[in-house]
Amino acid sequence: MSFGLGRGKPLDDAPGLVGVSQQELPPLPDEIAADPLAGRLDPRTWFPTRQADPARPFEIEIGSGKGTFLLEQAAAQPGTDFLGIEWAREFYLYTADRVRRRRLPNVRVLHTDATEFLRWRVPDGIVDVVHLYFSDPWPKPKHHKKRVVQDRFLAEVRRVLKPGGELRVVTDHAELWAWDQAHFDRWTGADADQLPGYDGSAPAFTLHDFTAPEAAGPDELVGSNFERKFREEGRAFHACVLRKPV
């Protein structure tokens, strides 16, 4: 059974591996058909930094693009490990090369489908923050099922977050933001325990204002390539934080 996972290839210039290898992320086992947990592994073990400090925070960026936010935030937070996940192989390779040149030991990059990775690979309660910035809006109605924010995705994010962990979201696309808000309203409401794929208490998340991370420049939200490009075009931005209750 294949879910498009385990495609990362090693990029092994000094100081060590940047791209997640097939040895670290092998194909999903056949047992996954009967046991949904059979493919789970701990991506935190991919970081050499954890040998000295196993309790280091762990954050995931979905759709790391050319890696600007990932690199700048990892440099600003050397005590945190960052996994950037990118579906477009050319951007994955570009980001890995940038990480290697910057010699950042607390960054790994993975070429795969991030939503499937969360679902099949990531154990419960190990992630401090999931970053989702400027995801593809998939504007045609027939493609809305490809948008990242779906009920299943939010259920998986809540599962993998630690208590108090956050999903941080930014977009420039007004119609996608309306879609996101409709989902967020359900997951922050009193009836969240009735949602498909979620068997916890309500609300599943609490909603909070977005605050810029350390690496963002003046008047920036996150400081990614997309944000800087869209600011030059005069676009408006929408942002929020969903926090898993403690």
> How would DSSP label each residue in 96-124?
HHHHHHHT-TTEEEEES-HHHHHHHTPPT
**Strand, coil or helix: what is 46?**
helix
Catalytic residues: 136
> Up-side HSE of residue 24: CA atoms within 13 Å toward CB?
21
Q: How far apart are the C-alpha atoms of 72 and 228, rounded to whole Å? A: 14
Q: Determine which helix (DSSP H) or strand (DSSP E) holds 62, and give its type and residue range.
A: strand 58-62
Find all residues with CB under 8 Å of 77, minimum gap 6, and list them: 57, 106, 214
Find all residues with CB under 8 Å of 188, minimum gap 6, and list them: 203, 204, 205, 206, 207, 242
Mark out the alpha helices in the chain (DSSP H runs). 68-76, 89-102, 114-120, 151-160, 174-187, 225-232
DSSP state of 194: G
